[in-house]
Amino acid sequence: MSRVALVTGANRGIGLEVARQLAARGDTVFLGARDPDAGRAAAEPLMAAGGDVRPRLLDVIDQGSIDLVAGELARGVGRLDVLINNAAIHYDTWQRAIGADPSVVLQALDTNLLGAWRCANALIPLLRASGHGRIVNVSSEAGSLASMSGGTPAYAVSKVALNGLTRMLAAQLRPYVLVNSVCPGWVATDMGGPGGRPVAEGAASVLWAADLPDNGPTGGFFRDGRPIPF
């Protein structure tokens, strides 16, 4: 049976590639984007290729837009099988922890942590209704305490917190919904910049977590299907 998936921040980069691959498999994909025009433009080629892709306005810092999508899913489908929390901002390579701009840190936390939290809270009833729900939080090794440095402080702190949220949600939702953090690696996207791995390789890590069997791991942190230190 085809699944119903929602991908946030899906109008470009890893999110778009994940949406493309899910649609190519026959899944119904709600493509979330904070810019509706960008979302429609991103979805058009996927729909032209035969995918059931539905672009939707979804700004993860706007609870109203999240609730609208959740309400549409509840009325029209009655379940959600996969939530991929991909939306993220501020890979702040220009600053260090000492002297970091607190306003940038707050913005990163609002999107990268609280955005994922808002989406999860709104959609958990539908993920439970699936019976095979999956939440994939797109994190980063920049948020690993084992290798923490003073760089990209806003981004790194937000991903540490996102990993903590993963553990808490997994503890509460097991065994009905599996929740994992995934590091896609350094990927050649607008945020990652040139020189990284192809976007399809980064997306593969995300899809691995979305495709876990019911007895798969939960509350973990993975890259390329292998655990990495929190």
Residue with tokens 């729900």: 133
Q: What is the distance between the alpha carbons of residues 113 and 130, in angstroms, rounded to a whole number? A: 24
CA distances from 144 to 60, 221, 227 (A): 23, 9, 12
Active site residue 155: yes
Q: What is the distance between the alpha carbons of residues 223 and 14, in angstroms, rounded to a whole number? A: 14
DSSP symbols for 172-224: HHTTTEEEEEE---SB-STTT-TTSB-HHHHHHHHHHHHT--TTS--S-EEET
Q: Residue 113 is encoded by which pair of tokens? A: 């942590």
Residue from 179, 177, 200, 178 nearest 188 by CA: 200
- Cis peptide before 227, with omega less than 30 degrees from 0? no
**C-beta separation of 178 from 217 below 8 A:** yes
Residue from 35, 27, 36, 37 nearest 6 by CA: 27
First-residue to last-residue Cα distance in the chain: 34
Query: Looking at 14, 29, 70, 155, which residue is catalytic?
Result: 155
Name the residues annotated as catalytic. 155
